[in-house]
Structure formats: structure tokens, C-alpha cells
Chains A and B, each alone.
Chain A
Amino acid sequence: MPATPNNVPEPSRTDPALIRNFCIIAHIDHGKSTLADRMLQLTGVVEQRQMRAQYLDRMDIERERGITIKSQAVRLPWAPTHDKNNTHILNMIDTPGHVDFTYEVSRSLAACEGTILLVDAAQGIEAQTLANLYLAMENDLTIIPVLNKIDLPAAQPEKFAEELANLVGCDPDDVLRVSAKTGVGVDALLDRAVRDIPAPVGVKDAPARAMIFDSVYDSYRGVVTYVRVIDGQLNKRERIRMMSTGATHELLEIGTNSPEMLAADGLGVGEVGYLITGVKDVRQSKVGDTVTSQAKGATEALGGYKDPKPMVFSGLYPLDGSDYPELREALDKLQLNDAALVYEPETSAALGFGFRVGFLGLLHLDVIRERLEREFGLDLIATAPNVVYRVVMEDRTEHVVTNPSEFPEGKISEVYEPVVRATILAPTEFIGSIMELCQTRRGTLLGMDYLSEDRVEIRYTLPLAEIVFDFFDQLKSKTRGYASLDYEPTGEQTSSLVKVDILLHGDKVDAFSAITHKDAAYAYGVRLVAKLRELIPRQAFEVPIQAAIGSRVIARETIRAIRKDVLAKCYGGDISRKRKLLEKQKEGKKRMKMVGSVEVPQEAFIAVLSSDDGAGSAKGKK
């Protein structure tokens, strides 16, 4: 294994001409983390015996699901084969791969001059990769197309090299072929990065300007902020200023990752590294913000900063009401590390005290929910995810609805819902079923392009609400798992939307209220009412279950009153058992939620709100 080269330039004293900043764009499972692992080994920054798979993925969930949620940056020294005496510095920025994190991806791209487009040689490019490739192209990054997994028997490097060459606009022979698993071709890839990616250009003597592309909470060190220096220099122990908020902080530590944190004297033009200021909350150190020196700082921030905007909302409630304080604490902790996570307390008549939580998208929702359950040991009920609606009344007052139960009553003029531009890549044989699905989900076809003879890119405008509602599962099942999906918000549209309420024994169950297109309302009502009839046990009285739009009932079922709930006999030997059974039943009763006078088992809420109803459909999403 190669040792770290000699005369490695030190941070703050590195000639920008020797720096190459790049990221890797890849679909999940296409081997990005494995490639990163090989690079760590090949450049000698991680010793063989310390190597573990997917070294850079810190969270358990990332490693388990094979997805990267938070990006990382590593400083790699590399003496290229064609220029052995000049050790270069490669800064590899690991980007999140999922559509929910597009904004973070865009900030990571903005920190780079080049990108490695990594594609599985047996699968070809996928929708999210394509979306990120377009982003990279918009950012004028140099693109190095690479086919991975060429060691696989199913690999078709010729075919997919052609596809990549078409997309990137290069010769198929320029597409590199590697096996991240065996390491074949990785050194050539590093050489190519040095050769092709432009060195960063910045003004050395200007006031310091560094862009934050990631911000991570560490329980020992507080917030660790990852930056790319554009102009000037940041030095240790100086005071820095966040340009969006004006807040100033003492720079407690500055350094680089290789891959563990290593303190340095500073960071100069083009360099990538971390800052520690002692702040405890990532919202004080926002991705996209510009960092400058407090003294003689820059006056103009770098462009491109946006506040993350939640697109999908869900109510999260502890299964056991007494866990509410723990849930609040857990959300507070997660928010330290996730500037995009927003929440506020919410009370549901059916579910008790909980939070309405806003997410960037379904994967974000899923990851947060899983972390709450796994890392904090909470049992949660999550209401079906919904999007944000803007309701304009006839008197021109406006309501922003993040919870269906808050949908206003009265005379509504228009309802606006968010729409997205969805890109679907799939084998051509599925065009028919994909279009059929998009059509039933109120989609409008934007266009269609053949990537190759048998693969097609289909673009649709779709209401986000339709995607949130089990769209991805449907797409997967209709294409036998071959389709990939990406979407980006493009605005809003007016639609004929109505709120469907579910009434139990005449009482509205807020957790089951949903906003649907008026044509889908009836089906939703019938389905939910039938499902509840199965799930709610018979009560001492007859319980009508109704679905209603306003005061108009659109579906109804009845749970007959229970007529017998008594054991036939109770003699001497039965008494202990009977008392213990009673204690058990009392426990069971505690797990019932009272909706008006109706006892509803929590399982009913979970069953209705989860699985085929949208929440949880993001599981395994790719």
C-alpha cells in the first residue's frame, strides 16, 4: 500500500495551483462510498488496519441504508503518476445523493471545480444522478465520467460508456472504468482529477470569504462547520462573522480532515476544511452562508444562500403520551444537526400531544423518524405526510395549511398546492405504465427523451401531494423496480381540492383528515371508512363511521354494538386467572385512545396512517 507522499503541502500554506476540489455524484448503490474508501487507502490517509467499509459515513443509518445524508470533506495528498515530484492536494467532498437534499448538494457543488460522475457499469445512470449531473453542469464543473463495478459479470461498460458520453458530451473512450471494490483504475482516476479539474482561483489578499457547505453537530465539540475558502485566508484564533446573521464567533479551531480532524494554522484560497466556534446549534452556522473575518471582513457575501424550506409535513406523536418531553428533547437534539428540520407543538384530539414536523421530503421524514425511534428509543405514530397548501378565501384572506385539520371552513376562493417537476428514468418498455400512473396522479407531460435505445427520460409536472402519497411505491411496482425518480419543486398551482373528514360516532378524528383532489375524495373516504370498521373493536354502543366533505357525508359504515362481553363461568379456580386477565385488559385499555366516547386501539391509528397510506412509503427509496 502506498505511503503518504513526501513534502505534502500544509494547510494555509498550499499553493492553490496544487489544489483540486471535487465531489462524487452517484446513485445509491453505485459505489460512491466504496470508491471513497479506496481513495483514502490509496493516498495513505487511512492505514490499512484502520480501514472499515464506508469510512466516511458516520451515522448508523447511513451505513445500513448505504446512503449518505450529510456530506463530508477529506484532504487527500496525491502525487500524480505524470508529475511524481509535485504532491497535489485533492479535497474530496462527499455529497448527499438524495433529492430531498438537493440544496445541500448544490452547496457542495459550489465548493468544487470538478465532479466525478460515478455510474454502475451494470445499471447505467439513474434519475437522481442525472439531476445532480445537470446541477453540476449548471455550476460549470469539470465532469469526469466513470463507470464503476467493471468487475461484475453483468457489467456492460461499452453500452453505458456510450450513454455517459452522450450525456456529458465526450468520447466514449474518455469514460474511465474502475472497480472501487478491487481498486482497479482508481489511481488513474486520481491522476485524471489532477490533470482535468481546474485549480481553484481566488484573490489571496482580499478579505476572507469562505462558503459553508456543511454543518454538523458533534456532542463533544459542538458544531463543526465545513467550509471552502474562496478568497483570502482564515486564521486560527481570529474572530469570524457569519454574513447572513452578522453573528460573530471566536474561532476555537480550524483544520482539515484526513479523514479525522487535524488542527491547522489556517485555511487559504481554494482550501477546504472545518471550523469550530463552540456554537451548539447548526442553525447558527447555516449551509450556504458566507464566513468572513470580523476585522476587515468582506462586505459582500457569496451568492446562492437560501433558507431550507420544508416541503412535507407530518404529525409525530409519542405512542405513550408520557414520552412527550422525551420527543421534544430528541427533536431539539436532531435540530442541532439539521437546519432543515422544523417543528412546533401540536395537539390532536385523537393522538394527544405531539409535534407538526416539516421535512425537505419523504426520505428526510423517514430518516428523522427512524433516528427518533432508534437513537432515542421512542415509539411514534406519524400521521400521513402532507404538503403545504395556500388557501385563499372569497374575502381574500389567506391561510397557509400545514395540517389538514386546519383547512379552513367557509367560502374558499382558491386552493394552491405545490407542484414539482419530476424526472423518471426507466427502460422503454415501461413508458405506457409510467404515463398511466402519472396521468392518474394529475400529471402533465413535459417531455420525453431517449437516453439510449432502450432507456428513456420522462418529465412530468406533478402535484407534490401526489408524490408524497405512495407514488414511488407504485412507480417501483409498475416498473418492476427499474424506474428511478427525481423531482424538484417548481412552484404552485390552483386545484380543486377538498378536505375529507372522518367522523367516529359523530366526532371528527383530526388525525384522519386529508386534503385530496375532489375526484379522489370519494375513494379515499370509502377506503378509510372500511378500514376503520375492521380495526375498531365493537363498543358498548353502535358506532357510525363516516367520511364527509364539510357536512356532506360521502361514505358510511357502522360498527355494531357489542352485545356480549362476559365469561360464562367464574368459580373458585377461575378467580386468580380472571383477576390477572382483568389487569391485562386494563393495560390494554390504557393503550386505547379515546375519540369522543369511542375507544380506538393505537394499532388502528398506526395501521391507517402507515403502510399503504403514504407514510413509510419512502422506505428503501432510491
Chain B
Amino acid sequence: MPYRCGTMGDMPSALPDGEPVPDDGALPAQALTGAADRPLGFYLHVPYCATRCGYCDFNTYTATELRGTGGVLASRDNYADTLIDEVRLARKVLGDDPREVRTVFVGGGTPTLLAADDLVRMLGAIRDEFGLAADAEVTTEANPESVDPSYLATLRAGGYNRISFGMQSARQHVLRVLDRTHTPGRPEACVAEARAAGFEHVNLDLIYGTPGESDDDWRASLEAALGAGPDHVSAYALIVEEGTQLARRIRRGEIPMTDDDVHADRYLIADEVMTAAGYDWYEVSNWATSPSARCLHNELYWRGADWWGAGPGAHSHVGGVRWWNVKHPGAYAAALAGGRSPGAGRELLSEEDRRVERILLELRLREGVPLDLLRPEGLRASRRARSDGLLEQEPYDAGRAVLTLRGRLLADAVVRDLVD
């Protein structure tokens, strides 16, 4: 997966194949059985960026106006209204589902390219249609260069209580390779501004393994990030995705490709520095100062809960039905303007699909996977992984497969064996 500006939403550039979504977006009846026992979250996608970063292959656009079919104009200025239309569609589709919304996450793109009032209105629509839980977690991603104290204050007053800044690196030369425009030091300042504005939870996103980055550069970035005092840090290995500017530059030999072993070393450094500073891993790429500092919204993804993803290309999941919206903002706006669901395709997960997804997602978590989810073959593989030092002994004895530090670096290989 690529790393992306903004970072934490859910918007890979290519959509899967699937069956069509009905025009009214209706879900099969079984999707809502037992819904009351599952938390419900909202992801809101903002597909705009000021510039496109060289490593980004996500569904984001630098133009402020995009024309859809039938001449419908999708512009940054009316984007919030379009998205609110989908929130209302969600209300219709979910019918008399009584659930309040537990988490909202605004990602992109660069959500903070919209006016703060727009972000507040989008959240307001969710509150109006569904109601927000009293302790709801409401996050937005933010670009360090596009926020200031008054912007932050507006968000906070409008109900946002968590903010995630794309810091990536503390080193100028690393930021340059990534095409990031902010100046070193600015993200750390943002953390202070967010705290001052009353944000309870603040995250910094980091990228390691950028070509040209040294171990020391990475340590410096980690220390700068932790020094700013966020309660949550995400650290991702840079992945060079085909079709990006960065991939072209590497292919032409302008910059070197980072070796997987270097990625492994950087990950070890990250875990060491963060653990020492009191940040514990709770997912392969995420660290938090306490259980309450974890990102609840992301935990919905990882634990198979329900979420509605609104916006072009956004993915949703309700009760074993997963669907995704059309990618282009113009087509997206045109669908909603015509009273149709912007859903481009969907899949109905089989029992086995859901079992496999649980293993591949939950194994990435500190709590791990219950061993009773495994079949005999997978169980045998888990014993091998345990004796190879990829799974922790103590939780294993208590019936859970939990990755060791080395196991985290080989999580995908372990998953491949465990799903057998």
C-alpha cells in the first residue's frame, strides 16, 4: 500500500471488481441483522490536494473544479453539500437502524483545503441524521501548512476532538523527495496549536525508508515527533507504487530504491524509540500513549465493525457487505445529483471471507487473533510460527496468536500460513 498525504482514510487508487450496487443503494436484508451490537462509524473523503505528492497513488485531485456526467460540477466549494447528500442517502439506506455514530474520520486528499465551516457542516449532517454518541471520536486529517489557531478553534468548537497531522519527516531533504511542502518544525508547532485549541487527541504521521533517509535522519524525525507530545504516532514504510512520479524517478535511476532490510531496521528503531518514550504499539504501524489514545475509528476497520465511507472512491462495510463508490468526483457528484447511489460495486463476504479477513486484520493488532479462529492446518502453522519466535509465548498459551517484534515485520507471511 502506498502512503498518502493526509494518511488515515481508506482510498486506494484502484477499485476492486464486484457486483453492481442498486440505484437506491439498498443493502441485502441480512446486512443489518445484529447491527445494534456493532459500532457504526463514518469515513468522509475529501478528494482534493493543493499539489500531488510524488509518491501518492490515491484518489485525489489538484483541480478545484471537476466536471461530471451531465455537466454536474464537482467543485471544492460545493463539495461539503455533495457529501452531505450522501450522508442523507446513508440515513435512507440504513432505514430505522437506531445506532448513534461512534466515530467520524475525515480523510483525503487534504480535508483542511476545505473551509473549517465545511468540515463542521459535514459533521453536523451526521449528527442531525444519526446522532453522535456522547463519547464519539471525531478526527480530521490536516496538512500542517493549511491550519492555523483560528481554523483549529473552529473545528474544535464544531465537535472535532482528534486531529492527525501529516509530518512524514523532520528532515528537509527527505521531505523534498516526498514533495512535501511544509517546513520542518511546522508539524510540531501544529501539535501545540491543536492542544491549545483544546484537541484531546493528536496524531503525527511519519514515513520511513524514503530514498536518501539515513538511520540518523529517522531517529531525528522520531525524536522531533515525540518531543512535540502527540498521544499517537503512525509510522509507515514508504512504498513505491507503480505509476507514481516517485516510481518513475527510481526507474530512471535518479534516486535509489530502499532495500527491505533497511525498512526492517527502521521499523526496529521506531519501535525502540517509541517504546522507550512510553508509546506502545497496538497495531503494526500505530503507537499510542494509552489505550484511550488509540484511534477508535481505525479499530472499527480492524475489528470488522460497520462503517459508511462517504465521498468519491470511499469504501463502506455493513454487516458483511462491502461496497465502494465511483472514483471520480464528477461522476460521484452526478450520481448524487440524480438521486442515485454513488456505489460503483460491492461484494457480499462469505463466512470464509470474513474468517480470513479477521485473521489478516486482527493479527496486526496487539490483542492478536483467537486461536479458535484457526483450522487444524492453520493451527499447526501457528505452532511453527510460535517456535520460530514469530508469536509470543504467553498469549499463545492463553489461546491467542500475538506477533512478536520480529513477527510484526513478517506479519503477511504469518497470515498466509494461519489462514490455511
A: residues with CB less than 8 A from B are 540-541, 560, 562-580, 582, 585-586, 589
Contact = CB atoms under 8 A, between A and B. Distances in A.
Contacts of A540: 388, 390, 410, 413
Contact of B410 (A564, A577, A586): A564
B314 A573 contact: yes
Interface string B291-319: 00000001001100001010001111100
A569 B206 CA distance: 12
A565 B412 contact: yes
Contacts of A569: 1, 3, 236, 285
B16 interface: yes
B322 interface: yes
B298 A582 contact: no
B408 interface: yes
A577 B322 CA distance: 12
Nearest to A588: B416
Contacts of A585: 412, 416
Given A568-B236, A573-B9, A582-B419, A563 B360 contact: no
B409 interface: yes
A593 B264 CA distance: 27
Nearest to B324: A573
A112 B411 CA distance: 74
Nearest to B359: A582
B296 to A, nearest CB: 13
Contacts of A541: 388
B138 interface: no
Contacts of B9: 571-573
B309 A582 contact: no
29 contacts: A540-B388, A540-B410, A540-B413, A563-B264, A563-B410, A564-B237, A564-B260, A564-B261, A564-B264, A566-B408, A566-B409, A567-B1, A567-B412, A568-B237, A569-B3, A569-B236, A570-B360, A571-B298, A572-B10, A572-B307, A573-B313, A573-B315, A574-B1, A576-B315, A576-B324, A578-B360, A579-B357, A580-B16, A586-B416
Given A563-B261, A564-B264, A572 B43 contact: yes
Interface string B252-278: 000000001101100100000000000
Contacts of B322: 575-576
Given A563-B264, A564-B260, A574 B10 contact: yes
Contacts of B12: 573-574, 577
A564 B411 CA distance: 8
Given A570-B364, A572-B315, A575-B322, A565 B10 contact: no
Contacts of A563: 260-261, 264, 406, 409-410
A560 B14 CA distance: 34
Nearest to B14: A577
Contacts of B3: 568-569
Contacts of B10: 571-574
User: Which of A560, A572, A582 has its CB near the most chain B CB atoms (within 10 A)?
Assistant: A572
A563 to B, nearest CB: 4
Contacts of B87: none
Contacts of B415: 582
B356 A566 contact: no
Contacts of B14: 577
A565 B356 contact: no
A566 B412 contact: yes
Nearest to B420: A586
B104 interface: no
Interface of B: 1, 3, 8-12, 14, 16, 43, 236-237, 239, 260-261, 263-264, 267, 284-285, 298, 301-302, 307, 309, 313-317, 322, 324, 347, 353, 356-357, 360-361, 364, 388, 390, 406, 408-413, 415-416, 419
A579 B353 contact: yes
Contacts of B11: 573
Given A540-B388, A582-B356, A582-B416, A564 B409 contact: yes
Contacts of A560: 261
Given A570-B364, A574-B1, 10 more contacts: A540-B388, A565-B410, A568-B236, A568-B284, A568-B285, A571-B298, A571-B301, A572-B316, A573-B309, A573-B324
A136 to B, nearest CB: 62
Nearest to B13: A573
A571 B239 CA distance: 15
Contacts of A573: 9-12, 309, 313-315, 324
Nearest to A569: B1
A582 B388 contact: no
B404 to A, nearest CB: 13
A568 B270 CA distance: 13
A575 B285 contact: no
B413 A562 contact: yes
B410 A562 contact: yes
Contacts of B302: 570
A601 to B, nearest CB: 15
Contacts of A568: 1, 3, 236-237, 239, 284-285
Nearest to A538: B260
A553 to B, nearest CB: 26
A573 B344 CA distance: 14
A575 B314 CA distance: 12
Given A540-B388, A576-B322, A579-B353, A570 B410 contact: no
A567 B267 CA distance: 12
Contact of B301 (A564, A575, A579): A575
Contact of B317 (A572, A579, A589): A572
Contacts of B410: 540, 562-566
Nearest to B317: A572
Nearest to A575: B357
B234 to A, nearest CB: 8
A203 B401 CA distance: 90
Contacts of B309: 572-573
Contacts of A575: 301, 315, 317, 322, 357, 361
A572 B416 contact: no
A300 B370 CA distance: 82
B401 to A, nearest CB: 15
A567 B241 CA distance: 12
Contacts of B406: 563
A568 B1 CA distance: 7
B411 A565 contact: yes
Contacts of B409: 563-566
Contacts of B236: 568-569
Contacts of B413: 540, 562, 565
B80 to A, nearest CB: 21
Q: Which 8 A-B pairs have the closest CB atoms?
A: A573-B10, A572-B10, A563-B264, A568-B236, A573-B315, A566-B411, A564-B264, A568-B237
A381 to B, nearest CB: 24
A567 B263 CA distance: 11
A559 to B, nearest CB: 13
Given A562-B413, A565-B410, A570 B260 contact: no
